[in-house]
């Protein structure tokens, strides 16, 4: 197939969501639901994608632009039905084949889109509608047949009692010859109970003009689940979570409790890595082989190399090399780069810093805007004081440095190789190699002070 274009309908308000957020921007796991639809369409080979926006169009458009490439937009100022929505794309639909998808169906798969396009071409259809068997067809348009052949689609509010008993329903997904669709949209009428221009009516128009209408019956109804309220959103999250976790386990990842593990669709995890319950792995996260991701860990768009152990911690756009341990209760903020065989312990926060191989930051320490060498030891309670009230400054700590407990390093300051700082020091000047820096007052004991105080 040379030219395959996709139109995604995303203009609706979604009043049943009872939210100030446009329906298609509500998230399934870690992504807006419309993003899944765009991705699957592009991965199925769509050469062009046009999203029809309407309600809060600027928010929808800006969100999509920041997350997806090669997407066009059409504006539906008034919501006058699905046919009216597609008509707003103008000449975008002319030429080649056009698939119509819904922005609130995040569970659709690229394999289904590919199979639909192949079926449409092989059968030389003018239009093909995707149907599925629904246990409860209430609210869906019914596929009315003449024998096995397509006759029409009847919407729920326009259906007779006999038609309401039909369980084969319209999923809202179609593929058209673009030119035939463009012509049929110009002939639509809104003579129905809703006073809207139904896209479904184009099928009858095309059939009356001797076009060939086919039905592609899908095997799984859940794939076309429309999200109209928060209950359905939760259902979609469950389905997506199960899909992702099952595929990862088939690929060799151990997930000890799949029901309580949340992994985004873009996350990559190597074989023999163990994921414990309560973990949330999101964004463009990559985790290597033979890692242990302990319970209640949250990782966003971070890179974790092989054989790393992370326990009950938070990583946000950080990098960790092999054989390092993190946590429990550590926080690695953006642009933190952690080397090999490093120990980041409990209640440690790292921000915009490089920690080289073999260094230990064991507990109760903040390292911000710092460049730390190899085999450094941080005593408990160390703080790199990186902000002077106006600008952020950096600390530089050389190889083999020993930082005593409760040391404050007032940036910008440099601690050269193998230097020591005494516990309780506030370091404001550079420390030469192999030196001991002491920056605290000499202890003075005032004998009898308590008795004199109480007089």
* Distant-in-sequence, close-in-space partners of 444: CB < 8 Å, separation ≥ 6: none
Active-site annotation holder among 26, 84, 120, 363: 363
- The span from the CA of 137 to the CA of 219, in Å, is 15
Residue written as token pair 């000047």: 429
Within a 10 A sphere around the Cβ of 271, how many other Cβ atoms?
12
- Alpha helix positions (H), 129-197: 161-164, 178-185
Strand partners, 391: none
- The span from the CA of 264 to the CA of 262, in Å, is 7
Determine how β-strand 149-154 pairs with β-strand 142-146.
antiparallel
Strand partners, 384: 409
The phi, psi pair for 147, rounded to 5°, reads 75, -120
Residue written as token pair 């933190």: 336
- The span from the CA of 195 to the CA of 221, in Å, is 28
* Distant-in-sequence, close-in-space partners of 435: CB < 8 Å, separation ≥ 6: 416, 419, 420
Q: How many Å separate Cα 359 from the centre of its chain?
A: 33
The phi, psi pair for 362, rounded to 5°, reads -80, -35
Cα→Cα distances 256→293, 311, 323, 381, Å: 11, 15, 22, 35
3-state secondary structure of 182: helix
Q: Hey, CA dihedral for 37, 40, 44, 46, is it positive or negative? A: positive
| Whether residue 26 lies in the annotated active site | no
Nearest one of 298, 291, 304, 284 to 255, comparing CA atoms: 291
Nearest one of 325, 373, 320, 313 to 349, comparing CA atoms: 313
Residue written as token pair 């407990």: 405
Contact 424, 405 (CB under 8 A): yes
Residues annotated as part of the active site:
363
């Amino acid at each position: 197939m040379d030219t395959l274009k996709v139109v995604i309908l995303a203009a609706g308000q979604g009043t049943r969501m009872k939210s100030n957020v446009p329906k298609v921007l509500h998230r399934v796991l870690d992504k807006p639901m419309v993003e899944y639809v765009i991705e699957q369409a592009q991965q199925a080979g769509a050469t062009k994608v046009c999203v029809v926006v309407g309600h809060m169009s600027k928010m929808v458009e800006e969100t999509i632009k920041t997350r997806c490439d090669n997407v066009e937009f059409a504006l539906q100022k008034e919501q006058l039905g699905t046919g009216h929505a597609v008509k707003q794309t103008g000449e975008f639909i002319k030429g080649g084949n056009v698939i119509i998808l819904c922005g609130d169906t995040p569970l659709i798969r690229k394999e289904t889109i590919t199979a639909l396009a192949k079926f449409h071409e092989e059968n030389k259809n003018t239009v093909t509608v995707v149907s599925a068997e629904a246990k409860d067809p209430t609210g869906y348009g019914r596929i009315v047949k003449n024998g096995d052949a397509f006759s029409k689609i009847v919407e729920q509010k326009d259906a007779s009692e006999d038609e309401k008993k039909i369980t084969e329903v319209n999923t809202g997904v179609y593929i058209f010859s673009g030119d035939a669709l463009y012509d049929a949209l110009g002939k639509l009428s809104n003579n129905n109970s809703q006073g809207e221009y139904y896209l479904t009516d184009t099928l009858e128009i095309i059939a009356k003009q001797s076009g060939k209408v086919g039905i592609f019956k899908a095997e799984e109804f859940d794939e076309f689940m429309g999200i109209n309220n928060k209950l359905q959103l939760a259902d979609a999250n469950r389905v997506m979570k199960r899909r992702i976790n099952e595929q990862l386990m088939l690929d060799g990842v151990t997930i000890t409790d799949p029901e309580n593990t949340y992994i985004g669709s873009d996350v990559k995890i190597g074989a023999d890595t163990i994921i414990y319950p309560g973990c949330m792995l999101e964004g463009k996260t990559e985790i290597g082989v033979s890692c242990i991701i302990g319970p209640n860990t949250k990782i966003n768009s971070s890179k974790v190399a092989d054989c790393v152990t992370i326990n009950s911690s938070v990583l946000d756009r950080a990098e960790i090399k092999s054989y390092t341990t993190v946590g429990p209760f550590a926080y690695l903020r953006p642009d933190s780069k952690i080397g090999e065989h490093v120990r980041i312990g409990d209640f440690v926060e790292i921000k915009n810093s490089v920690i080289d191989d073999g260094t230990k930051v064991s507990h109760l320490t903040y390292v911000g805007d710092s460049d730390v060498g190899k085999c450094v030891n941080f005593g408990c309670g160390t703080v790199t004081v990186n902000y002077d009230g106006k600008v952020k400054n950096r600390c530089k700590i050389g190889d083999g440095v020993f930082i005593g407990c409760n040391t404050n390093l007032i940036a910008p300051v440099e601690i050269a190789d193998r230097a020591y700082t005494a516990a309780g020091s506030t370091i404001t000047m550079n420390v030469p190699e192999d030196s001991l820096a002491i920056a605290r007052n000499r202890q003075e004991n005032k004998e009898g002070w308590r008795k004199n105080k109480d007089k």
